[in-house]
Amino acid sequence: MEIQETPRADGITQLALIGKLDIVGLHAVDIKFHGYTAARRRHAIVDLSRLEFIASLGIGMIYSCSKSMERHKVRMVLVNPPATIDEVLRLTGIDQAMPIVKTMKEAESILAGETFEAQA
């Protein structure tokens, strides 16, 4: 399990979660993910397209960091989860608490204060 950061000029943190976010994977990235998101206090886009597995512990990590970010008036947006991961995330209702979108452009629109519907 690893986290890749793609540097951006607009101040948004862009990350990709890669691999299996299971008990072992969580142990490998938990502190690092917190550092990139909650501790940094900037908007974050998290690309899930190469995430192979997530369960309750990984969802808890995302919730926890996202809640911490909200307290500092910044947001996290999740992008392009594979089908089964999307299904698992939505089952927990996380999509009602934070945005899950298909494309990077949609994520950028949300963080720019525009709604996806307004762009469509």
Binding site for other proteins (CB under 8 A): 20, 22-24, 53, 55-57, 59-61, 63-64, 66-67, 70, 84, 88, 91-94, 96-98
Closest to other proteins by CB, 3 vs 57, is: 57
Q: What is the b/e burial string over 6-17, where b = at least 16 CB atoms within 10 angstroms of the residue's CB?
A: eeeeeebbbbbb
User: DSSP assignment, residue 43?
Assistant: -
Helix (H) or strand (E) holding 93: none
As measured in angstroms, the least distance from the Cβ of 7 to other proteins is 27
Q: Which is nearer to other proteins, 40 or 68 (CB)?
A: 68
Name the CA dihedral angle for 4, 75, 108, 106, rounded to a multiple of 10 degrees. Answer: 100
67 vs 102 by CB, closer to other proteins:
67
Least Å from the CB of residue 75 to other proteins: 9
